[in-house]
Structure 1
């Protein structure tokens, strides 16, 4: 693997973590939104990632096991967990039975996910900086 591949891999990971941060921010922003029906209530969203794989060849042209070449976002799925239902007949958004519905967003879990995504983004930034320094040092060897 060349150092140039490191930039592509770390860049794809940074892109994935950005999507993860955006979905977490969306979940947190909608955590206390109220709805009068189950169908129109916001549901927590989570991104789904997978490894981008490439079949490699060695110097003799023989096939080698697939190697990861980055992170790919397969999609964003909605949580199927139960919505929070609260009896509040005086609420303007209450349904005919007096219930309002809140999203299935766990704020503590979302904050932990945000910290994890932020830290992962930071680590990939450091990886890119280290690779850049290694390239600069190898270029200065010939001087």
Structure 2
């Protein structure tokens, strides 16, 4: 396979993992974002999905973001009658963000990014060595 194609495929992988990290960071930043009025909904966890794509210019299979979604799992309830978003019974809806799950997702995205970066670095080294042999 052409070394430039390998680099393009890995770059696409890095791009989607970077986008995944952005979504995880948004979720973690809003893990405590509740509503502001009684009974209002808090922040709802965001999700990201990938799909196989095609780079038509090079005829390469790559990966791309297929869609951004919203996690429809139920909110947690916490008894806090003094909170501005507390309902008539004193309960506040909490975001459906689990920081542990987000940290695992972040670590997985980081590893995927690093793996693709490693492929690019290895490809660059191979090209450099090939050029050195030609000298």
TM-score by length of 1: 0.83
Q: How many residues align?
A: 131
Aligned alpha-carbon RMSD (Å) = 1.9
Match of 1:2 in 2: 2
Match of 1:24 in 2: 24
Match of 1:108 in 2: 100
Match of 1:37 in 2: 39
CA contact (8 A) 2:55 2:62 kept: no
Higher Rg of the two aligned structures = 1
Q: What pairs up with 1:1-143 in 2 under 5 angstroms?
A: 1-35=1-35, 36-38=38-40, 40-53=41-54, 69-143=61-135
Question: Hey, what's the Cα distance between the residues in 1 that align with 2:12 and 2:69?
Answer: 20
CA contact (8 A) 1:14 1:124 kept: yes
Give the secondary-structure state (helix, strand or coil) at the position aligned to 1:131.
helix
Match of 1:59 in 2: none
Match of 1:64 in 2: none
Question: Hey, what's the Cα distance between the residues in 2 that align with 1:68 and 1:37?
Answer: 50
Question: Hey, what's the Cα distance between the residues in 2 that align with 1:92 and 1:75?
Answer: 34
Question: Hey, what's the Cα distance between the residues in 1 that align with 2:113 and 2:71?
Answer: 24
What is the Cα deviation at residue 68 of structure 1? 5.9
Q: After TM superposition, where is structure 1 displaced by more than 3 Å over at least 4 residues in a row? A: none
Runs of 5+ in structure 2 lacking a partner? Answer: none
Give the secondary-structure state (helix, strand or coil) at the position aligned to 2:134.
coil
What is the Cα deviation at residue 33 of structure 1? 1.4
Between Structure 1 and Structure 2, the one with more strand by share is 1
Question: Hey, what's the Cα distance between the residues in 2 that align with 1:73 and 1:32?
Answer: 27
Between Structure 1 and Structure 2, the one with more helix by share is 2
